[in-house]
Amino acid sequence: MAATGDRLADSKQKLLWCGRLFCVPDKFIRYHHKRMAKYLVTGAAGFIGSSLVRALLERGEQVRGIDNFSTGRRENLSEVLHRIDFREADILDLEAMHQACAGVDYVLHEAAIPSVPKSVLDPLASNRANVDGTVNVLVAARDAKVKRVVYAASSSAYGDTPALPKHEAMIPNPISPYAVAKLASELYMVSFYRCYGLETVSLRYFNVFGPRQDPSSPYSGVLARFSMQMLRGEQPTIFGDGTTSRDFTYIDNAVSANLLACAAPAAECAGRVFNCATSQRTTLNQTFDALKKLTGYKGSVKYGPERGGDIQHSLADITQAQKHLGYKVLVNFADGLRPTVEWYKNQARTVEA
């Protein structure tokens, strides 16, 4: 893909040649592309990956994306696909990862099989994608001398320790195979920093939600699933008694945390793990009530047995991210819920039309 920055630089060089008839040393030319960086987003067609792609393009960055469409969807990238260097590839393919990392400054590693219940059903698949895949990405990033890798870690690493809020110094206590895999990859991130000097930052996402989160699978995030079900007039099911709580984090906060994690000085963040959340929690019963208002759903909710591998409460302490990354909560739960439901409404209309 011809980079815009390269074209700008070329035309600027020509102007200098024409106007002055001599070549200005490279270091005195402020090329536009020198301020731009090249980003590789793994899982670029996923919910979080595609949101990162859009944010990077808005900032004028060069973006390469890879996805194997196991959970990502081409539609998530529809209007931006032609603006990125997209490659259909699997993170388990080391050769493809080497090619994808070539010439890249930052890797935002989002590719994963992101589901607690799926991992309970198939721990091998979870481990392959979420651990082996991560090690491949790290090896390729190390070999390509990438500046920094930012990783989509998970709040599930904290498990069911009763203390709230969860802070990064707590000893992890993962329950599900998914949580174990995400934690193992976090440790690989740290290891690659310590052993090879590859700068890595892990962001422990706390239940990220927002437009483009897939609502269609039984493994979909609860907000995506409930929003779509309630808009269709279908009865949602709460697993447990509804007192389970989550620190639901609107996508804009996660995007901003990634950009900050790329920009922060290495001394503040390299080889470290940070919570990425809002530090507010909402129960599933409260979530249902809030969605009822926004979707116009008139029915009730059904209660079912608790899901295996689930944890009861999740709430983050975000002090470390605030202090070391300059992280701020940009959008709280209620403000994030409105555009999310609007997006699902539009999706439902498009399907009907």
Element (H, E) at 201: strand 199-205
Number of residues located near ligand UD2, criterion CB under 6 A = 22
Residue of 294, 277, 298 lying closest to 334 (CA atoms): 294
Alpha carbons 319 and 323: distance in angstroms, whole number: 6
Q: How far apart are CA 70 and CA 78, in angstroms?
A: 17
The answer to the question of residue 344 lying near ligand UD2 (CB under 6 A) is no
The vertex-66 CA angle with 328 and 255, nearest 5°, equals 5
The answer to the question of residue 155 lying near ligand UD2 (CB under 6 A) is: yes
Please identify which residue in the block is written with the tokens 């630089």.
9
Place of tokens 């440790």: 187
Residue 207 touching ligand UD2 (CB under 6 A): yes
Q: Toward ligand UD2, which CB reaches closer, 115 or 279?
A: 115
> Does residue 115 belong to the site contacting ligand UD2 (CB under 6 A)?
yes
Q: Between 191 and 237, whose beta carbon lies closer to ligand UD2?
A: 237
CB under 6 A: which stretch of 3-11, 108-116, 140-148, 184-192 binds ligand UD2? Answer: 108-116
Q: Does 222 bind ligand UD2 (CB under 6 A)?
A: yes
| DSSP 8-state assignment for residue 158 | G
Exposure letters 302-328 (e unless 16+ CB within 10 A, then b): eeeeeeebbbebbbbbbebbeebbebe
Q: Among residue numbers 235 through 264, which ones bind ligand UD2 (CB under 6 A)?
A: 237-239, 244, 246
Distance of alpha carbon 184 from its chain centroid, rounded?
A: 17
Pick the binder of ligand UD2 from 256, 314, 320, 347 (CB under 6 A).
314
Distance of closest approach, residue 326 Cβ to ligand UD2, in angstroms: 22
Task: Based on the shown chain and the rule CB under 6 A, indicate whether residue 33 belongs to the binding site for ligand UD2.
Answer: no
The catalytic residue among 39, 106, 158, 178 is 178
Q: What residues are annotated to the active site? A: 178
User: Site residues (CB under 6 A) for ligand UD2?
Assistant: 114-116, 154-156, 205-207, 221-222, 225, 237-239, 244, 246, 284, 307, 310-311, 314
